[in-house]
Amino acid sequence: MEFQNTLEFAQKLDKEDKLHSYRDEFYFPKVNGKQVIYFTGNSLGLQPKRTKKFVDEVMTDWAELAVEGHFHADKSWWDYHERLAAPLAKVVGAKTEEVSVMNTLSVNLHLLMVSFYRPTQKRFKILCEEKAFPSDQYMLKSQVRFHGLNPDDAIVEVKKREGENHWRTEDVLAKIKEVGDELALVLIGGVNYYNGQVFDMETITKAGKDAGAFVGWDLAHGVGNVALKLNEWGADFAAWCSYKYMNSGPGHASGIYINEKYLGKEDIPRFEGWWGTKKETRFLMKPEFEPMENADAWQISNAPILAMAPYLASLEMFEEVGMEVLIEKRTTIVAYLEFILHEIDAEVDGSFEIITPADRGCQLSVFLHGHGKELFDFLMKNGVITDWREPNVIRLAPAPFYCSYEDMYRFGQLLKKGILEK
């Protein structure tokens, strides 16, 4: 498609957009009385209007049924989480039994590492990307220390090449080969939070497995954003939050994937609680743990229903639309945003640089040469909700459910105005 940097062209794309009507399914903040251009779905997705109905349903059941809501609500609470598994499995490319929802992301990664980071005297190293998201760095270091190891010895980072802004797959593979039979675990953010790069998860998973290591993925920025085939790739485990592209609300429940070959096993290391034991005998209060035969065996406590209701509301939309349609629009709208950025850059004589590689999802990270945070502040004051990362990068994530092509055009005009006024 040959793009044009005009309002008329952007509006034409919106009229042809299969998802354009879904924009009205979300609440938008307002700045100066006008609906914002929202670029931070990679941090917190907008609230779907149907969310209130799902939450109110739980509140009404609580008011009218109290404890009996566990079994007698229309969406009974004791198995509420099970309603999320099938639609989520489609989003992440898994079998329904491989998916569960519980806790929050970092908690789940810690719990999964109980099962999948089992260091020995010889095989004890963890491979991750350089400057992983801080929570992942803290998690990995604390896990290593918990096992009595030194993070300097046990954690191996794959670095970007000098002068480059992204990782090369061949460098990841080379590092896996170099660590060899000392490698216990590969755990990488499938989509990098800073530059928006999508790692070649299929190739890296195979290499890690061939090396004899467990392979897991932090998919905080991946789920609802990129095509995933976790079962087909043979990943051992994955976890993700639900409040970014999945639009479930701040800090809400996390999803997990556990490969089918680990399901139903009683001898796998795992922290256990009563919600992971078999449904059929759970309320018999038996002293011995009998694991569920699916990923629910990793659950510890009963489900946080009020955190899951918004997730279920959002998943209803993912079911209606399907990931293929979302990815199709994501690809086009990000390409249009990239075109707009290059057009504006040419008009203002090279003021910024896109550091996101071609292997990307919904995000473009833009390095602002010669501009400090004042440009970011200008955009925010003028109704562009975007994200700042030091030293001077803004992250732009046009989520396909609710961002429009007209948003991209209008953002370009505001960006140019902010640069020229400076």
* 173-231 residue pLDDT tens: 999 999 999 999 999 999 999 999 999 999 999 999 999 999 999 999 999 999 999 99
Query: Would you state the structure tokens that stand for residue 182, as one six-digit string?
Result: 């000392």
- Identify whether 2 is part of a domain: no
The pLDDT value recorded for residue 278 is 94
* 122-135 residue pLDDT tens: 999 999 999 988 99
Asked whether residue 283 falls in the same domain as residue 330, the answer is no
The pLDDT value recorded for residue 371 is 76
Is the omega angle on the peptide bond into residue 391 within 30 degrees of 0, that is, cis?
yes
Residue 59, pLDDT > 80, answer yes
To the question of pTM greater than 0.75 for the whole model, the response is yes
CA dist., res. 299 & res. 392, Å (int): 41
Of 321, 340, 373, the last residue of a domain is 321
Asked whether residue 42 falls in the same domain as residue 130, the answer is no
Of the candidates 359, 417, 369, the residue with the CA atom closest to the CA atom of residue 391: 369
Asked whether residue 16 falls in the same domain as residue 86, the answer is no
* Pairing mode of beta strands 125-129, 155-158: parallel
* 343-402 residue pLDDT tens: 999 998 777 899 999 999 999 999 987 777 899 999 999 999 999 988 889 999 999 999
Query: Would you state the structure tokens that stand for residue 139, as one six-digit string?
Result: 């998690």
Asked whether residue 314 falls in the same domain as residue 326, the answer is no
Asked whether residue 406 falls in the same domain as residue 317, the answer is no
Asked whether residue 390 falls in the same domain as residue 263, the answer is no
Query: Would you state the structure tokens that stand for residue 270, as one six-digit string?
Result: 């795992």
Query: Would you state the structure tokens that stand for residue 374, as one six-digit string?
Result: 């004042």
- Identify whether 1 is part of a domain: no
Query: Would you state the structure tokens that stand for residue 149, as one six-digit string?
Result: 């190891």
Q: Which residues share a beta bridge with 205?
A: none
365-391 core/surface letters (b: 16 or more CB in 10 A; e: else): bbbbeebeeebbebbeebbbbbbeeee
Residue 85, pLDDT > 90, answer yes
Residue-by-residue DSSP string for 103-128: S-HHHHHHHHHHHH----SSS-EEEE
Asked whether residue 390 falls in the same domain as residue 241, the answer is no
CA dist., res. 213 & res. 196, Å (int): 26
Asked whether residue 57 falls in the same domain as residue 42, the answer is no
The pLDDT value recorded for residue 218 is 98
| CATH code, domain with 24 | 3.90.1150.10
| CATH code, domain with 214 | 3.40.640.10
Asked whether residue 193 falls in the same domain as residue 214, the answer is yes
Q: Based on the structure, what is the number of domains in the chain?
A: 2
Asked whether residue 137 falls in the same domain as residue 236, the answer is yes
Sign of CA dihedral 140, 142, 145, 151: positive
Q: Tell me whether residue 175 is exposed, middle or buried, using C-beta atoms within 10 angstroms of its C-beta: 0 to 12, 13 to 18, 19 or more.
A: middle
- Identify whether 105 is part of a domain: yes
Residue whose structure tokens are 């992983």? 132
Using DSSP's 3-state secondary structure scheme, residue 82 falls into helix
* 170-181 residue pLDDT tens: 999 999 999 999
The pLDDT value recorded for residue 181 is 97
Residue 242, pLDDT > 90, answer yes
Of 321, 340, 375, the last residue of a domain is 321
How far, in whole angstroms, is CA 61 from its chain's centroid? Answer: 31
Residue-by-residue DSSP string for 316-333: HHHHHH-HHHHHHHHHHH
Is-contact 329 18, C-beta < 8 A? Answer: yes
Question: Average model confidence (pLDDT) for the chain?
Answer: 96
Of the candidates 391, 366, 336, the residue with the CA atom closest to the CA atom of residue 17: 336
State residue 16 phi and psi, 5-degree precision: -90, -5
Domain that holds residue 244: 52-321
Q: Which residues share a beta bridge with 389?
A: 393
Of 293, 321, 349, the last residue of a domain is 321
